[in-house]
Amino acid sequence: MSREKVAVGLSGGVDSAVSAYLLKREGYDVVGVHLVCWDEGPGCKASRDRQDALKVAMALEIPFGVLDFQKEYKERVIDRFYDDYAKGLTPNPDVWCNSEIKFGMFLEWARSEGFDKIATGHYAEVRKVEEEDQTRWGLFMPKDKWKDQTYFLYRLGQEELGRAMFPLGSYEKKEVRKIASEVGLPVADKKDSQGICFVGDVDISEFLHRRLQDNEGEVVDTSGRVVGKHRGVWFYTIGQRGGWQVSANFQKKFGGEIPVFYVVDKDVKNNRLVVGFGAETYRESLMVSDLSWVWSKRVSEDGFRVRIRHGGKLIGARGEWSGEKMRVELDEPQRGVAAGQAAVFYEGDELLGGGVIG
């Protein structure tokens, strides 16, 4: 019987390297594949990452290949990123990177080349779930809750999960580092990547400025009083503290002190940034659209848990359907609920699906 053939996405980092090692150790026919999606600008380390991925493949003695998805990544991820910010949204490009590139184009390529599955270094866990009337694939939080990346994977469905492998789901990060060191992987001590998927650790404001220009406008409080000036509503995110110019007249009202304000809304049409403080910055509910489910619309309106940002707290919630959208009532009011970000739903440790906050 032939071994299952797995294409492992080798990013050049320690997580994907250990994933490839673990699969080879388990007897799979492993091939390392490096995806080139972005190779420009400050913060980009594409050349080094490609070299590190090759070194890992050589150390593991596995075949190695490179796929160039730069055109598709720009069209499907980066252009949408800029377009959404221009609309006043705060998008999450890592969600699209996973659904469009890693578990979209990479998976399609792997299937066409005869691979049984693809694997990545995500901290998540895929399980086959046996139920009375069906067998399905479930996506669960990993052992290492601090590294949990299920939030970015909520758009994966049965087709993708049936062909996906996440070898690190049952490991903690410290264990992964230890394995890499013990088996002599050349990236054992390499720092984790930060920032936008494939782009790297960049200053978001600077990155946006490459395409979106300054457009000065008023900063107002929730009563409409002018607080100061901003450089362009797209350079700010909901929940952000400060970062704009406060007028001298407004400061006088507070004895010369600058009060602690947070962004609560972005009025793109009128080029206004709305700020508030205290209770004004919290929301008790949110509307979620463009919903995607791992296997069915299984979320219970009576109760589930929701996460509104990567690494954020899991909050108890209830849902109410409104056509194709769902209003989510939060058990605890939250600050920084940003339109364009993802709201992801869980039952216990299982991810059910998610959507975009409106």
Q: List CB contacts of 297: < 8 A, sequence separation 6 or more.
A: 291, 353
Find the radius of gyration of the CA atoms of the chain: 22
Instruction: Identify whether residues 99 and 165 lie together within a single domain.
Output: yes
Listed residues 261, 276, 291: the one ending a domain: 276
Instruction: Identify whether residues 183 and 230 lie together within a single domain.
Output: no
**What's the token pair of residue 324?**
């194709």
Instruction: Identify whether residues 285 and 331 lie together within a single domain.
Output: yes
295-317 tens-digit pLDDT: 987 777 678 999 999 988 999 99
Q: How many domains does one find in the chain?
A: 3
Q: Which domain holds residue 287?
A: 281-357
- Other Cβ atoms less than 10 A from the Cβ of 156: the count is 26
236-283 tens-digit pLDDT: 999 999 889 888 887 777 666 777 889 999 999 999 999 998 889 999
Check whether 228 is labelled as a binding-site residue.
Answer: no
Indicate if the pLDDT at residue 32 is higher than 90.
yes
pLDDT at 299: 74
pLDDT at 316: 97
Check whether 340 is labelled as a binding-site residue.
Answer: no
* CB of 70 closer than 8 Å to CB of 39: yes
Q: What is the pTM of this model?
A: 0.92
Instruction: Identify whether residues 217 and 193 lie together within a single domain.
Output: no
Check whether 16 is labelled as a binding-site residue.
Answer: yes
Instruction: Identify whether residues 312 and 184 lie together within a single domain.
Output: no
Report the mean per-residue pLDDT for the chain.
92
Select the highest-mean-pLDDT range: 108-117, 125-134, 192-201. 108-117
Instruction: Identify whether residues 201 and 346 lie together within a single domain.
Output: no
Instruction: Identify whether residues 93 and 164 lie together within a single domain.
Output: yes
Check whether 15 is labelled as a binding-site residue.
Answer: yes
pLDDT at 115: 98
Check whether 193 is labelled as a binding-site residue.
Answer: no
Check whether 35 is labelled as a binding-site residue.
Answer: yes
Instruction: Identify whether residues 27 and 168 lie together within a single domain.
Output: yes
117-165 tens-digit pLDDT: 999 999 999 999 998 888 999 999 999 999 999 999 999 999 999 999 9
Share of the chain above pLDDT 90, in %: 76
pLDDT at 256: 64
Check whether 195 is labelled as a binding-site residue.
Answer: no
Indicate if the pLDDT at residue 224 is higher than 60.
yes
Indicate if the pLDDT at residue 294 is higher than 70.
yes
Task: List active site positions.
Answer: 97, 197
Residue ranges of alpha helices (H) inside 138-232 are 158-161, 173-182, 204-209
Instruction: Identify whether residues 39 and 157 lie together within a single domain.
Output: yes
Check whether 121 is labelled as a binding-site residue.
Answer: yes
User: Burial letters for 249-287: b for 16+ Cβ neighbours within 10 Å, e otherwise?
Assistant: ebeeeeeeeeeebbbbbbebeeebbbbbeeebbbbeebb
Listed residues 157, 180, 205: the one ending a domain: 205
Listed residues 276, 297, 322: the one ending a domain: 276
Indicate if the pLDDT at residue 107 is higher than 60.
yes
pLDDT at 57: 98
Closest CA to 271 of 217, 331, 194, 314: 217
Residue 168: band (very low, low, confident or very high) from pLDDT cuts 50, 70, 90: very high
Mean pLDDT for the stretch of residues 327-352: 95
